[in-house]
Amino acid sequence: MAIILDGKGLAESVRRDLAQRVSRLRAMGVTPGLGTVLVGQDPGSMKYVAGKHRDCEQVGIASIRHELPADATQEEILDVVRALNADDACTGYIVQLPLPRGVDQHAVIDAIDPAKDADGMHPTNLGQLVLHVDGEPRTPLPCTPRGVLVLLRHYGIELDGADVCVLGRGITIGRTMGLMLGRRDVNATVTQCHTGTKDMVDYVRRADVVIAAVGRAGFVTPSMVGDDAVLVDVGVSRVADPDTGRMRVRGDVDPACHSKVRAYSPNPGGVGPMTRAMLLANVVEMAERKAGLSA
C-alpha cells in the first residue's frame, strides 16, 4: 500500500503549533496580522483569500482585508500596497494573483516591503534564497515549495542525495522548488523539466521523487513513473466531471499512478493545505523576528 502524504492532517497540526506561538506573542503585546489585497471578484481568488482569513482566525492572527474592484488602476493598487507597508498592525501581507489585465504585477510585487512579504516572492527574498544555501533562512520562504518539503520530511521521505524531478519552471513553484531542494540542509539532486525538455519521460522514470507543477490534469501517467517513486502533485486544473458536468479540481498526476508508487500526495488534500499553513508560518515567524524571539 502506498503512503498517502496527507497535507490536510499535517496542516492542522501546524496550525495548532502556530496558535501556541501566537499566544506567546500576544502575551508580549504583539499580535501578528496578515493583510490581503484582492482585486476583482474571481471566484477562485475570493475562495482562496477567504480560506486564508479563516485560518488566521483559527490561530489568532489578525486579518487585514483590502478589496478593490476589477477596474482598479495600477496606482490605486500601489496605494494599498504602500498603506500596508506603513501599517504597524500588518506583520505580512499578500497581493492575490492574478491581477487584472493591464496591471503590471511585477511592479506591484516589487513595491511590497520585503520584510512584509508573506508569500516569500519578492525579488529581494528570492535573491537571498539564491545566495544563501547554508544555514537557517532568515527571510520568508515561498509557501508552496516550503509546504512540499515539510510534508515530505514529516513522512520520512529521504531527500539527501535523492534524485528529484521537478516538472514545471514557473516562479511560484517550479523554479523556487528547485532552489529549496538544492539547499545544503536538503541536499537533493534536482532535474527541472519543462516544455523544452527532450525525453522528459526518461527523467521522470528515473526519479526518486517527482514534483509535478505543470497545471495539466492527469499529465503524469503510470507508464512514466517508477514503482518506488514518490509523487507530489502540485498542479491545479478545473475540469468538468463527466457524470455531473460540474467543475472539479484535478491534479497533474493521474490517480491510476497511486497504486503503483511508494507514496503520493492526494489532490486536493495534499499540498494545498500545506501552502496555506506555510503562509501563516511566515507571518508568525516575521512577528517573532520583530519581537526578538528568533534570529
Q: Choose, from 6, 96, 116, 208, the residue flagged as catalytic.
A: 96
Task: In whole angstroms, give the CA distance from residue 208 to residue 190.
Answer: 10
Task: In whole angstroms, give the CA distance from residue 50 to residue 27.
Answer: 27
CA angle at 74 for the pair 72 and 80, rounded to the nearest 5°: 80
Asked about 52 being catalytic, the answer comes back as: yes
CA angle at 236 for the pair 232 and 242, rounded to the nearest 5°: 110
Q: Choose, from 6, 52, 117, 192, the residue flagged as catalytic.
A: 52
Q: Choose, from 6, 117, 119, 252, the residue flagged as catalytic.
A: 119
User: In the chain, count of helices (H) and strands (E)?
Assistant: 9, 11
Q: Which residues contact 156 (CB under 8 A, 6 or more apart)?
A: none
Task: In whole angstroms, give the CA distance from residue 15 to residue 58.
Answer: 8
Residue the block writes with cell 528529484:
164
Q: Which residues are catalytic?
A: 52, 96, 119
